[in-house]
């Protein structure tokens, strides 16, 4: 039996890097998903259901690509950041990034990473993991230097940080899986890929 083709439905360089470093062979495809509409559909209640939204976004991405490649296994993944009931979106520029980091400064936030696998028109596997990160009460001078060095690279990150790099300096406490913090529940995904014959057992 031949190994099924594997497609990552994500534009995230971090997710591509993690999968490649783990020895997974895959191609990538860019899904066209209205993330704001998905988030808005879940924003009617008093508490924002971060895990449900992260999974829903992952499913939308995977299914959008799976429709075009029904014989392949398609990985969809997404990440949601929630702090004190507020959901954060990716910053569009340095001003936006500064505002987001100031809002997170001195507070704990939840970072929920989800991944799914689709085949044909069905989701055949899903997983989600939550990390808890506390940003320290950093100085304005630190923030200025941080942004000068990290923009525009961190604009692709929902929290405006790359914890595997300079972003580690933002935090006073981190509880959670490093892979999930970077955007992918990798260990669980690798186990699923073994189950579906992509990786050897």
Active site (catalytic) residues: 78
**51: which 2 tokens?**
């895990």
Please return the burial class of 90, using the count of CB atoms within 10 Å of its CB with bins 0-12, 13-18 and 19+.
middle
Alpha helix ranges (H) inside the chain: 13-21, 35-41, 50-66, 94-104, 140-150, 178-181, 186-195
For residues 101 and 171, give the distance between their C-alpha atoms in angstroms, rounded to a whole number.
11
95, HSE (Cβ side, Cα atoms, 13 Å): 0
116, β-bridge pairs: 76, 126
CA–CA distance, 49 with 163 (Å, rounded to integer):
24
Q: What is the DSSP-derived secondary structure letter of residue 154?
A: G
Residues 6+ away with beta carbon under 8 Å from 40: none
CB atoms within 10 A of CB 32: 8
């Amino acid at each position: 039996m031949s190994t099924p083709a594997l497609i990552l439905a994500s534009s995230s360089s971090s997710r591509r890097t993690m999968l490649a470093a783990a020895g997974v062979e895959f191609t990538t495809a860019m899904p066209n998903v209205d993330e704001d509409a998905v988030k808005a559909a879940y924003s009617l209640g008093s508490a924002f259901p971060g895990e449900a939204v992260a999974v829903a976004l992952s499913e939308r991405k995977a299914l959008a690509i799976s429709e075009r490649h029904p014989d392949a296994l398609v990985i969809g993944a997404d990440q949601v950041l929630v702090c004190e009931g507020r959901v954060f979106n990716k910053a569009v520029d340095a001003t936006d990034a500064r505002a987001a980091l100031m809002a997170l400064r001195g507070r704990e936030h939840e970072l929920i990473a989800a991944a799914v696998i689709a085949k044909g028109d069905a989701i055949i596997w899903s997983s989600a993991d939550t990390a808890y990160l506390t940003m320290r009460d950093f100085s304005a001078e630190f923030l200025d230097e941080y942004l000068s060095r990290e923009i525009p690279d961190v604009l692709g990150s929902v929290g405006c940080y790359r914890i595997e790099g300079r972003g580690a300096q933002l935090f006073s406490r981190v509880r959670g899986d490093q892979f999930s913090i970077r955007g992918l529940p990798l260990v669980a995904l690798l186990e699923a890929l073994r189950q579906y014959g992509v990786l050897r057992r």
